[in-house]
Every structure is written in C-alpha cells, then in structure tokens.
Amino acid sequence: MQDLKPIRVFLEVAKLQSFAAAARTLRLTPASVTRIVARLEEDLGQQLLVRTTRQVSLTSAGALVASRYRPLVEALDRVSDDLNRELQPFHGRIAINAPVSFGLRLLPPLLDRFTLAYPNVDLTIQLTDRLVDIVTESCDLSIRLSRPPVDRSTIWRKLCKVPLRAVASPRLFERHPLPRTPDDLNPRLCLSYGAEESPEAWQFRKGAVTQTVFAGTAIHSNNGDLLYEMARAGAGIVVLPEFHVAEGLGRGDVVPVLADWSLPHLWLSLYYPPYEALPPLVATFSDFLEAFLGDVTGFEFSG
C-alpha cells in the first residue's frame, strides 16, 4: 500500500542495515531511500537510525517503531495475498469432488487442458460416489450424477443430461436367453448399484408403457467400475451412464440390453456451498468444465 511506503522503506533499511542495499531491493535510488527515511523521522519527531561509515543501526525509538510496525505490515501483506488468491480467477487452489467413474474417465483430459490454460491454479481432486456434505468437507465444488436435485440449502447448476444404458457381455446370453421385455429380466442377473443394500429400481419406458424392474441383491455395489467389469466378465446385466459403457459397446465387450426401451436420464450437475456469489476461481473452473463437456462428449445439453 502506498501510504505505508515510508514504513516499508524504513523496515527494509533496518533489516539490511544499509541504505544502499535497501535501495537495490526496493528498486529505488539511495538518495530516495535516504530522503524517505528522513521525512519519516521528521514526521515522527524521532531519530530512527544511526548512520556511520560502516553500518546503519537502530536507535531505541527506531527499535520500538520497527517492533511495532513489522508484524502489522507482514499481517497486512498476508491479507492482501489471501485476497488476491481468492478474488483472481486465475490464481489459487480449488478443491473438487467427483464421482469415481466420471473422474477416472473424463477428468484426466479435462484437467490436463485446464492446467495448461491456468498453470497458476492448484487442484485438489477427491473421488467418491457418495453425496458429500459440501459445507463441512472443505470442498469448493462437487460434480454430481444424479436425479434432479431437491436440496434447496445449497446451489445446484444443472449442466446436461446423461443417458443410462443397460448392457451385458455377449457371453451372458450364451447361457441365458436374451430378454425381449423388462418382464424377461431375471433379478439375480441384474447387478444392483447404490449406496444402500436395497435393490436398485430400473424404470424402462417404451412409448406410453412404463415398467419398473428391481435389480437383485445377489451382487450389489456402490462402485460402477466394479459392476461394469463384472458385467463385462459375464456375471450379469448392469445399468450405467452411457459415457461409462460407450467404449465397451464400441469394442463389443458389452452389448445393449432392451435397446428399444429407454431409461430415465441422469443430470450432470455442479453442486456448490451456499455462496452469495461464486468465487471467481470456482466460476472459472465451472465454465471451463461446461465448455469441455460441450466440445468432447456426446452429452445432451438441455435445460
């Protein structure tokens, strides 16, 4: 701050015990440093420094001024640094939470682009499929795949629809008949996803007809990657987001099940603490994420 310039100059001279050295550090001329300190002494009515041909030392008044002002100036500088990090959208650290499968598949290329575009932004990434308490768990934003949110105490920004697909390994249908309708699904062959041990509900729709099937609990997990690998190995049928199974469908590792029936989509949303306004760094990452998804994925952006 400009008003503290005389104090800053004095403190630098006191630290280095040299007008010339302080002038080099502060990028001022020695004459300017001498003049600034002399004016401060005049304003305070006290001699602050004793000048000899060999060194500069503090008077008792100078030592008192230095001991009182130095911690205040250092504290003010820390506050200024903290404010700059918080208010500048291209500097600082951001803590992000995301679902495991989404994080493993889509975050690496996104974060690679983001760090190239914003090299002064540090990132902390946590992957979990549970809905975090974003207020108490020190998270700046969370990426969620879910049904439309109902929580009104926090901020949700819906980005795009994420289709769900039912898939299984072709090997499964060498041992079991291929289902033609939801009624043909054997619950014991339906791998159930969820945080609780209750069976997952799959709601199939075809035209005006809606049928709900409850997946079995013979194999139940809160991790989509595990369930996908089990389905790929032939253990059963799984319902997962399309981005999760698209590569396997393309290679033929898995095939669609009941492809002529649709499943309700999920929403990819950003979930924030109850900010009065998004911090600039959080807004920067949020906008970058939305632009990235629009460029490189097949997600359906829609209100």
In the chain, the amino acid numbered 114 is: F
**Alpha-carbon gap, residue 167 to 254, rounded angstroms:** 6
> pLDDT at position 84, please?
65
Residue 19 lies in a domain: yes
Q: Are 176 and 243 in the same domain? A: yes
Return the H-helix or E-strand segment holding 96: strand 92-98
Whether 233 maps to a domain, the answer reads: yes
Q: Do 206 and 249 fall into the same domain?
A: yes
The total number of structural domains in the chain stands at 3
Q: Are residues 281 and 154 in the same domain?
A: yes
Domain end, chosen from 39, 69, 99, is at 69
Residue 233: strand, helix, or coil:
coil
Read off the CATH number of the domain in which 96 is found: 3.40.190.10
Type of residue numbered 78 = R
CATH number of the domain enclosing 9: 1.10.10.10
pLDDT-derived band of residue 271, with 50, 70 and 90 as boundaries?
Answer: confident
Same domain assignment for residues 59 and 39: yes
Which range among 9-18, 149-158, 202-211, 230-239 shows the weakest confidence by mean pLDDT? Answer: 149-158
pTM of the model as a whole: 0.62
Host domain of residue 94: 88-160+266-301
Q: Is 131 found in the same domain as 202? A: no
Strands 141-146 and 266-272: antiparallel
pLDDT, position 50: 92
Instruction: Name which residue leads in pLDDT, 206 or 155.
Output: 206
Please, which residues have CB within 8 angstroms of residue 293's CB and are 6 or more apart in sequence?
106, 159, 160, 268, 299, 301
Q: Are residues 61 and 196 in the same domain?
A: no
**Residues 181 and 242 both lie in one domain:** yes
Same domain assignment for residues 154 and 277: yes
Question: pLDDT tens for residues 44-64?
Answer: 999 999 988 778 999 999 999
**Based on the domain organization, do 245 and 111 belong to the same domain?**
no
In a domain, 82, yes or no: no
**Is a pLDDT exceeding 90 seen at residue 151?**
no
Residue 110 shares a structural domain with residue 185: no
Q: pLDDT digit string (tens) for 182-231?
A: 999 999 999 998 777 788 899 999 999 999 999 887 888 888 889 999 99
Kindly state whether residue 261 falls inside one of the protein's structural domains: no
Q: Are residues 230 and 273 both part of a single domain?
A: no
Residues 106 and 223 in one domain: no
pLDDT per residue over 222-270, tens digit each?
A: 888 899 999 999 999 999 998 889 899 999 999 999 999 999 988 888 8
In a domain, 201, yes or no: yes
Q: Would you say residue 287 lies in a domain?
A: yes
**Residue 78 maps to a domain:** no
Asked if 107 and 101 touch (Cβ cutoff 8 Å), the reply is no
* Domain contains 141: yes
Burial class (CB in 10 A: 0-12, 13-18, 19+), 177: exposed
